[in-house]
Chain A
Amino acid sequence: MDGSSMWQEVSRNLRWRRGKGYLFEALGLISILVGLFVLFLLFYDVMRDGLPRLIPCRGQAAFPFFQCDLSVTVKFLTSFPSRRPEEAGIASALVGSVYMIGVMMLFSFPIGIGAGIYLEEYAPKNRLTHLIQISLANLAGVPSIIYGLLGLQLFVRALYNITGGRSVLSGALTMALLVMPLIVIATREAIRAVPDEIRQASLALGATRWQTVWHHILPYAMPGILTGAILAVSRAIGETAPLITIGALTFVAFLPEGLRSPFTVLPIQIFNWVSRPQPEFAHAAAAGIVVLLVILLSMNATAIYLRNRFERRW
């Protein structure tokens, strides 16, 4: 084989290999775009079904807000569920969600952040610490519906005298256990990002461990902890299965009166409407989904803003 034909062979081979490479790159990009496209379709589908029910507008889309009937929106947000889909609203679900999440935060934030601080700043390297870490890793992978079964036995039944059964408090405690691993992980990462020099400087000046943590570590770690906490809350807002399992109701025509009151939440209300055959209920479900997504997206945006605004690079 003379030199020029060998060179032709090599360059043909190389062209072929490069061609395959471009195809491969295109496949990678397409894979991502498939995900993004489905996300777009999902938003489009929900808006198409839900917006006319949530904010009905007349005429063309050129000046939507001038011709929109916001009284329907207000009515949807402030009415109770109903047998008649056109009168149904999400008042009890919205209030139930806010109430339950509020109570959940009271439990999950201090415990989750406390556990994170303990593991990063105090925990000795021993069996117990190892056991705690294994439990946390395991808990993060347990399906959410299993937490529902735990809540059903522990809070609804065993602690009936305290929680009042299938109540706001039972739901909040169950969800607190569910999101705790997320908050612990976020806290640990945020604390780990604070450089050791700050810790050492504080200790060298005679501060105690807790003074160091409280006055020096936590202020720097706070944005990271907050970001994680917001993401944990947004997870809890969208969570449905464990609350169905502990027996949150699907049809609630009253606002929760106290911690021991029965309740429902927004995702369960949506689930209830989706399960019905009438298309009008499907539209009510879509309108509920729009409200849910607006809440979640604004929370995620807040988390991203906080992270970018306060993140420090050392």
Chain B
Amino acid sequence: MAAESSEVSPLVLTSKELKSSANWAGRLLFEYVIRLVLLVCALVSIFTTVAIIVVLVEEALAFFREVGLASFFLDTQWTPVFVNKHYGIWPLVSGTMMTSVIALMVALPLGLMSAIYLSEYASPRMRSILKPILEILAGVPTVVYGYFALLFVTPILQKIIPNLAGFNAISPGVVMGIMILPLVASLSEDALHTVPHSIREAAYGLGATKMEVATQVVVPAALSGIAASFILAVSRAVGETMIVAVAAGQRPVLTFDPRGPIQTMTAYIVQISLGDTPVNSLEYRTLFAVGFMLFLITLVLNLISDAVVRRYREQY
């Protein structure tokens, strides 16, 4: 053994070994270049984040220089495309809130119950069938949901709810809720799934029924993950665009009546984008002011969701 090892590490290099060490240097250079290229790929994400912030802030600042923060936050009318222009953001915020709240009223209870069923009750075989089908719901393009809300759900709801307009907040809200359901179900189920079996068995040992174990032991133990999924659902609802652009109408009014047409922040951006808005006009800049608000809201929600998971995660 000793003789062999002295043979492979001689003090004087042969010509063959010199050549291979030159190869080695070339290879190291190649490795270095590859590493650099990969780093640049990863840096694209930072670039994108920075670019989003710069673009939104730059144009929003130009907007606020002309309009002023006071009228943006204190005015109650949003009429940038009319002759008599007002720039109060609240009608768009109230429209967004209404559709989002309706969506969450559908998505949160159904999503959580689905998650509990999948995690606690369904057999593995049933789970392997139900889950992928549920995920198809999340893969349907939102413009298709918009079609469904406008031409299928609204006519049905009009038979049930009196005075429901053709464009309203209820129908896109409900359909959006169904769209978000798989997100809530799948993230909450992941959270429920990580609760260890020993805890469940301890509760059974104390005489709890299956439902009592689920609601009083497993759900509380997974609460941070469930809460995070709820907050992500809110963020998704606020940022959803095509369903509301198709089915909620284009009338920014400060109201809490979901039966009439309203306009959300996202639908406003779509409306202006479809028209021929001259670049650098105030109207063009409203896009970015509204976009900036939207970005801030979703960013805060995403950060809270992240913090909840980090802060309250139970470690087993």
- Name the distance in Å between A264's Cβ and chain B's nearest Cβ: 12
B31–A250 touching, CB < 8 Å: no
A46–B148 touching, CB < 8 Å: yes
10 nearest CB pairs, A to B: A143-B239, A238-B141, A28-B117, A114-B41, A31-B113, A21-B211, A118-B38, A241-B241, A141-B302, A115-B42
- Name the distance in Å between B296's Cβ and chain A's nearest Cβ: 11
Say yes or no: A274-B150 contact (C-beta < 8 A), given A36-B134, A241-B266, A244-B273.
yes
Interface residues of B in 15-40 (CB under 8 A from A): 27-28, 30-31, 34-35, 37-40
Kindly name the residue among B27, B45, B140 whose own CB sees the greatest number of chain A CB atoms within 10 A.
Answer: B45
Q: Does A61 contact B (CB under 8 A)?
A: no
* 26 contacts across the A-B interface (CB closer than 8 A): A20-B211, A28-B117, A32-B118, A32-B134, A36-B134, A39-B136, A42-B148, A49-B151, A114-B37, A122-B38, A122-B39, A123-B42, A142-B299, A143-B238, A144-B241, A149-B269, A150-B48, A177-B44, A208-B31, A209-B35, A210-B30, A240-B141, A245-B270, A267-B143, A271-B246, A274-B143
Q: Does A45 contact B (CB under 8 A)?
A: yes
Q: Please measure, in the bound complex, the distance between the C-alpha atom of A38 and the C-alpha atom of B295, giving whole angstroms.
A: 30
Q: Please measure, in the bound complex, the distance between the C-alpha atom of A29 and the C-alpha atom of B118, giving whole angstroms.
A: 9
Say yes or no: A157-B42 contact (C-beta < 8 A), given A25-B117, A31-B114, A45-B151.
no
Q: Does A234 contact B (CB under 8 A)?
A: yes
Q: Does A221 contact B (CB under 8 A)?
A: no
Q: Please measure, in the bound complex, the distance between the C-alpha atom of A143 and the C-alpha atom of B240, giving whole angstroms.
A: 7
Q: Does B313 contact A (CB under 8 A)?
A: no
Kindly name the residue among B56, B209, B298 whose own CB sees the greatest number of chain A CB atoms within 10 A.
Answer: B209
Among the 9-residue stretches A72-80, A128-136, A190-198, the one with 4 or more Cβ atoms under 8 Å from chain B is A128-136
A300–B136 touching, CB < 8 Å: yes
B143–A180 touching, CB < 8 Å: no
Q: Please measure, in the bound complex, the distance between the C-alpha atom of A111 and the C-alpha atom of B215, giving whole angstroms.
A: 44
Q: Does A82 contact B (CB under 8 A)?
A: no
Partner among B34, B49, B140 whose Cβ is within 8 Å of the Cβ of A238: B140
Q: Does B76 contact A (CB under 8 A)?
A: no
Among the 9-residue stretches A62-70, A83-91, A254-262, A284-292, the one with 4 or more Cβ atoms under 8 Å from chain B is A284-292
Q: Please measure, in the bound complex, the distance between the C-alpha atom of A297 and the C-alpha atom of B135, giving whole angstroms.
A: 12
B121–A142 touching, CB < 8 Å: no
| Contacting residues, chain B, for A145 (C-beta < 8 A) | 239, 241, 266, 269-270, 291, 294
Q: Does A18 contact B (CB under 8 A)?
A: yes
Interface string of B243-282 (1 = CB under 8 A from A): 0011000000000000000000010011001100001000
Q: Does A34 contact B (CB under 8 A)?
A: yes
Q: Does B202 contact A (CB under 8 A)?
A: no
Q: Does B306 contact A (CB under 8 A)?
A: yes
Q: Please measure, in the bound complex, the distance between the C-alpha atom of A181 and the C-alpha atom of B44, giving whole angstroms.
A: 10
- Name the distance in Å between B176's Cβ and chain A's nearest Cβ: 12
Q: Please measure, in the bound complex, the distance between the C-alpha atom of A17 and the C-alpha atom of B216, giving whole angstroms.
A: 13
Interface residues on A, range: 35 or more
Question: Taking beta carbons and an 8 Å cutoff, which residues of B are in contact with A?
Answer: 27-28, 30-31, 34-35, 37-46, 48-49, 51-52, 55-56, 59, 109-111, 113-114, 116-118, 120-121, 130, 132-134, 136-137, 139-148, 150-152, 178, 181-182, 185, 209-212, 214-215, 232, 235, 238-242, 245-246, 266, 269-270, 273-274, 279, 287-288, 291, 294-295, 298-299, 301-302, 306
| Contacting residues, chain A, for B212 (C-beta < 8 A) | 17, 21
Q: Does A189 contact B (CB under 8 A)?
A: no
**5 other A-B residue contacts (CB within 8 Å) besides A143-B239, A177-B48, A296-B141:** A21-B212, A29-B121, A36-B134, A145-B241, A247-B273
Partner among A34, A35, A149, A285 whose Cβ is within 8 Å of the Cβ of B287: A149
Q: Please measure, in the bound complex, the distance between the C-alpha atom of A149 and the C-alpha atom of B60, giving whole angstroms.
A: 12
Partner among B44, B235, B291 whose Cβ is within 8 Å of the Cβ of A111: B44
Say yes or no: A135-B182 contact (C-beta < 8 A), given A17-B212, A41-B152.
no
Say yes or no: A31-B117 contact (C-beta < 8 A), given A154-B55, A241-B270, A282-B151.
yes
B45–A181 touching, CB < 8 Å: yes
